[in-house]
Structure 1
């Protein structure tokens, strides 16, 4: 199966990126039988500045601890391996064939990772958590529940069935390519819906940002420093959310053609896209996804 497709649904998780509290000073109280009667001196705990290695390890731990971000890391490795394999295809030796084998193994590994997805999508459908917070536009929550989470509830079981059909054809007697094609129809619904809901979120955030900037201008004129500081922080938070949504839109656009390619009946035998165009788009999306997740840590 040289053309086995690989893809992953994404969700956006907003985190509080405010800095941790700075260490507080402490006082040591002397007992009557041990003190010298002098006023206790205030001692400060020195602030340890994390090294670059510590920062890297902290980021790596946070990134790899979650299934969906760990899958993004594997996706970058998978398509980067393919890129080197493709570039070295005309050279003699075992480099290109060896990397091709690794690329296919990473592809199948990501199928295993997606086995966590069904219950995540079911939770998103029941709780509405895939909306990514509370929004003024009620349509956002409906799209997130019924189209995003709803489509993945059907996508994941079909994806698992196709994987089982490829790996255990004697036990699971299904047309795995056909099942995979049907699963990609649901994934296409997800991608289109994700683009739609991201546009609605962007519109709402831009309106909030415009209102906030008007208020901020007035506060600056009146020299309300405390209010200005709070508004500036809120403005930065809105800008971060808008950047996240812009990256999500880019990822959706990069997925459009692969969605169509893998949703066609003959995707495995007569694909619409060449390997270069298909995997090139997936490679670009993989790096965009990792960058988006790192910005959210």
Structure 2
């Protein structure tokens, strides 16, 4: 039998690209990086160019694209509610067997059960024609798109606190298990390949949890800012700080996804 020719670099890249972005979660992460990178370029151009200049015009165009990607990601969230409901019913987001671990998992799922419908209604209200928006709602009241979005972010904020707690507890447990494994290895007469592999597994798991905790912390301040009344007209965080944190989170999120993909491919 003739040997199959080696795969070219471009074919290998396309194969991994297709596999990676076959996941809906990875598609959203890719859009998130695009979303906040467009904002970053638009914001920097706006800050460094004079009104009416060509750079200022480019900034407006980039900001328009950023808004389009933002609302595209709102559409993708329509798939999130069933997953949250399933996690609440089955305990699918629980990490650990203690009562507190089960409480955290249920709380996280319940928060997202509240989050998604409010986000969906806010999106629909934002998409209404201007004539319907002006006749059906005012700037005051809980029923406006901005108020519904703020309520959804309050659910999200509680979720982030619960997730950060869950991840921190898991990290603490991993550190203890790693420390115990190191002690056991020192007490044994000779190190084995299994021991080395075990330490590698600990390192991979710890780094994954560290990245997840970093993402939750990067989300927290913007989420709190968006959960406040009048978040859109009197923001607690300046735009540069709020969206800058979210750009960093998008990069960390993509790094985390790529690391997980590479581990699965090994």
Q: TM-score, normalised by structure 1?
A: 0.77
Render the CA deviation track for 1:151-170: whole Å, top value 9, x for unaligned: 00110011001001111263
Q: Does 1:165 align with 2:125?
A: yes
CA contact (8 A) 1:71 1:110 kept: yes
- Partner SS for 2:230: coil
Structure 1's unaligned 5+ residue stretches are 1-42
Cα distance in 1, alignment partners of residues 205 and 17 from structure 2:
22
1:260 aligns with 2:220: no
- Across the aligned residues of Structure 1 and Structure 2, the Cα RMSD in angstroms comes to 2.2
Cα deviation 1:146-192 (Å, max 9, x = unaligned):
21111001100110010011112638864111111100000000111
1:37 paired residue number: none
Aligned to 2:233: 269
Aligned length: 246
Alpha-carbon offset, residue 55 of structure 1: 4.1
**TM-score relative to the length of structure 2:** 0.85
Corresponding residue number in structure 2 for 1:39 = none
**The residue matched to 1:177 in structure 2 has which SS?**
helix
CA positional deviation for 1:48? 7.1
The within-5 A match list for 1:128-277 is 128-131=91-94, 135=96, 137-144=98-105, 146-168=106-128, 170=132, 174-219=143-188, 221-222=189-190, 228-277=192-241
Unaligned runs of 5+ in 2: 138-142, 262-266
Structure 2 Cα separation of the partners of residues 115 and 95 of structure 1? 32
From the superposition, tell whether residues 95 and 195 of structure 1 become closer, same or farther in structure 2 (CA, over 3 Å): same
Q: Tell me the secondary structure at the aligned position of residue 272 of structure 1.
A: coil
The aligned residue for residue 53 of structure 1 is 10
SS at match of 1:130: coil
Note the C-alpha offset of 1:47: 8.6
Tell me the residue number matched to 2:61: 98
Which digits, 9 at most, give the CA deviation of each residue in 1:203-253, with x for residues without a partner? 11111111211222234x246xxxx22222222112111101111111111
| Pair 1:83-2:40 in alignment | yes
How far did 1:72 drift?
A: 1.0
Match among 5, 18, 30 for residue 73 of structure 1: 30
